[in-house]
Amino acid sequence: MADTLTKTTPEAPGPRATTAARPTEDRTAAAPEQPAPTVIADAVDVVYRVHGTAASGRGAATAALGRIVRRRGRGGEERGVRTVHAVRNVSFTARRGEAIGLIGTNGSGKSTLLKAVAGLLPVERGHLYTDGQPSLLGVNAALMNDLTGERNVHLGGLAMGMSRAQIRERYQQIVDFSGVDDKGDFISLPMRTYSSGMAARLRFSIGSAKDHDVLLIDEALATGDRSFQKRSESRIRELRERAGTVFLVSHNNKSIRDTCDRVLWLEHGELRMDGPTAEVMREYERFTGGKA
Amino acid sequence: MSQLLDKPPTATAAPSGLSGPADPPSDAAPALSPADLAARHGLTVSGARPSLPAYVRQLWHRRHFITAFATAKLTAQYSQAKLGQLWQIMTPLLNAAVYYFIFGVLMNTRHGVPDYVPFLVTGVFVFTFTQQSVMAGTRAISGSLGLVRALHFPRASLPLSYCLQQLQQLLFSLCALVAILLAFGVPPAPSWLLAIPALALQFTFNAGLALVMARLGAKTPDIAQLMPFVLRTWMYASGVMWSIDTVLKDRHLPHAVTVLLEANPAAVYIDLMRFALIDSFHAGRLPDHVWAWAVGWALLAGVGGFIYFWKAEETYGRG
Ligand SMILES: Nc1ncnc2c1ncn2[C@@H]1O[C@H](COP(=O)(O)OP(=O)(O)O)[C@@H](O)[C@H]1O
Ligand SMILES: [Mg+2]
């Protein structure tokens, strides 16, 4: 995927980096046979506002009271609110069929960027355009520990917007893939009786059961044993083949190498590098290795 | 080919002028700006609020989620208890017993009210329905931030689902109520069927109120701490354990107070339910235009609450 892009532009080192930060748009016209874009980020900034930071040094209660009193009538920047500029001026274009890895050290803004793409966080500046509704792979919050695995499969599917018929059709697949029934009939027991690994597998299994146009995965593969990780990676490849786009955040470099053909590297909220997996990973490993 | 950006691109490059001076001449067609590219392929801005009709359609599409979530919450509630789902009936019965002990025995509010126990229990159950719906609505968004921040669905699903859970709870309570009615010698009558429209109207009213509270509670979660006091005051003013019509008959209160007491939506729905179920609670004890009030409140809260909630749809769970 990324390879086809490179052919149209000559090697452009150093100085051209500014324009090259938007590598794909430039070439759309020149290469009309490219797959359609699914996510376009245009100079996106995301800012968190944190209320209730006791920056003023007053007691927590008085500070809180002050906040409530001041809230009314004042339009501008509130006091006692700290801002965290988590994503800065990030631009990229993702296309159908791409699996894009998102790397960067802790706190570099990977999760924030995914949430913004999913439309779950507002962008401060810039624009995010998406094809359909990108979804985070994370059905966890909809599941209930006191319910059986079986009921959770239904509840989770419905929460993701699947129809009842779709769920019925995929039910056996979901259970088989999760492997919770391998050691007995666990699917009919409440989820609180599962080991944390089993629960994680069932959650991934439910979350990946839906056909997503754009699937955003945030460190979901870290759990589970090695064989399950292998299976999840092949599931991601499968999802991608069903003509979607997959974004994958992982701290497992091997996992990124195995599943992604393009990598975005975020550092301090800025897009530091965007390109084929091998190149970016090489730079990234030099960066993290050099730092340690 | 990849780009190592030592410094972030400082120019927030104007969306149109993408071809920098160093670019190869693109003779085929002019480069597309991100906005144009998005428009050409039909991409839309992520996380925008849908129109009201689209919102209603999305909600309808999620109806099975709404019911499944309600049922799941209801079942999960007592799943660790030894007696399990038996508590669905036991809890309202115990509740009624406590109220009877305090107001019927200790304080003797029963004075002058015929069929006091059915009268009281109906009041308690019907008011609890509204009370719990409002409480659950207040926490519907602020207490489910994990869900709201992870998945996409019309957010009104949550308050509606919680109201539905309360409706299911009420149906259990009604089973207990029927047992109490029969035990206290209230005969079954065709008028019992009037409970159905009364409940439907009350449910609509509750849902609307829950939607309003959900939006308020999402912005200011502290409201959830305040609501129990507000709701308790409302209960004492709604004639749950005393009879509004008896009190109004005895005293000469200002007209405004009378209207206020009689138009109070909780009192309206409680009286309608008593009228439907309790033989001795005849039409003469109902305030004027009671059905009109019931429909009016349901429409006002239902439609108004829904629109009010939808107006902030894109803000829930953010920031
Ligand atoms: N809810 C939040 N409120 C305020 N700041 C946050 C919040 N979530 C994340 N941040 C900040 O935003 C930055 C990026 O965080 P995150 O996207 O979670 O990084 P990553 O996923 O790459 O580890 C960090 O500095 C983090 O402290
Ligand atoms: Mg993260």
Atom 17 of ligand 1: nearest residue by CA position: A109
Domain positions in chain B: 52-315
Query: Residue A52 has what pLDDT?
Result: 65
Q: Are A246 and A240 in contact (CB under 8 A)?
A: yes
Query: Residue B1 has what pLDDT?
Result: 46
Query: Residue B206 has what pLDDT?
Result: 97
- The bound ligand whose nearest atom lies closest to the alpha carbon of A85 is 1
**Ligand 1 centroid from CA A86, angstroms:** 6
**Ligand 1 centroid from CA A109, angstroms:** 6
Query: Residue B41 has what pLDDT?
Result: 85
Q: Give chain A's domain count.
A: 2
Which CATH number covers residue A175? 3.40.50.300
Tokens found for residue A151? 């009921």
Q: Are B314 and B45 in contact (CB under 8 A)?
A: no
Q: For A255-265, what is the mean pLDDT? A: 90
Q: Is A154 inside any structural domain?
A: yes
* One domain for residues A164 and A255: yes
Q: Is A260 inside any structural domain?
A: yes
For chain B, residues with pLDDT lower than 70 are: 1-31, 109-111, 319
Query: Touching check for B8 and chain A: CB below 8 Å?
Result: yes
pLDDT tens digits for A138-175? 778 889 989 999 999 999 999 999 999 999 999 999 99
Q: Is A89 inside any structural domain?
A: no
Query: Residue A61 has what pLDDT?
Result: 66
Interfacial B residues in 138-167 facing A (CB < 8 Å): 144, 146-153
A84 CB less than 6 Å from ligand 1?
yes
Half-sphere exposure of B202 (CA within 13 A, CB side): 30
Atom 14 of ligand 1: nearest residue by CA position: A109
Query: Residue A104 has what pLDDT?
Result: 93
Query: Residue B105 has what pLDDT?
Result: 79
pLDDT tens digits for A204-257? 889 888 888 888 888 766 666 778 778 888 887 787 777 688 899 988 888 889
**Ligand 2 centroid from CA A136, angstroms:** 12
Query: Residue A255 has what pLDDT?
Result: 84
Q: Is A240 inside any structural domain?
A: yes
Q: What residue of A is the nearest CA neighbor of B30?
A: A29
Q: Are B299 and B131 in contact (CB under 8 A)?
A: no
Average of per-residue pLDDT values in chain A: 79
A108 CB less than 6 Å from ligand 1?
yes
pTM score: 0.81
Query: Residue A156 has what pLDDT?
Result: 93
Query: Touching check for B76 and chain A: CB below 8 Å?
Result: yes
ipTM attached to this prediction: 0.81
Query: Touching check for A290 and chain B: CB below 8 Å?
Result: no
B31–A25 C-beta distance less than 8 A: yes
B9–A17 C-beta distance less than 8 A: yes
Residues 6 or more apart in contact with residue B173 via CB below 8 angstroms: B89, B92, B125, B128, B129
Residues spanned by the domain of A20: 3-34
Percent of chain B clearing pLDDT 70 (strictly above) = 89
Burial class (CB in 10 A: 0-12, 13-18, 19+), B257: exposed
Query: Residue B227 has what pLDDT?
Result: 95
Q: Is A84 inside any structural domain?
A: no
Percent of chain A clearing pLDDT 90 (strictly above) = 35
Q: Are A78 and A70 in contact (CB under 8 A)?
A: yes
Query: Residue B58 has what pLDDT?
Result: 94
* One domain for residues A114 and A8: no
* One domain for residues A142 and A241: yes
Query: Touching check for A220 and chain B: CB below 8 Å?
Result: no
* One domain for residues A162 and A23: no
Q: Is A73 inside any structural domain?
A: no
For β-strands A99-103 and B3-4, DSSP reports them as: unpaired
* One domain for residues A20 and A138: no
Query: Touching check for A43 and chain B: CB below 8 Å?
Result: yes
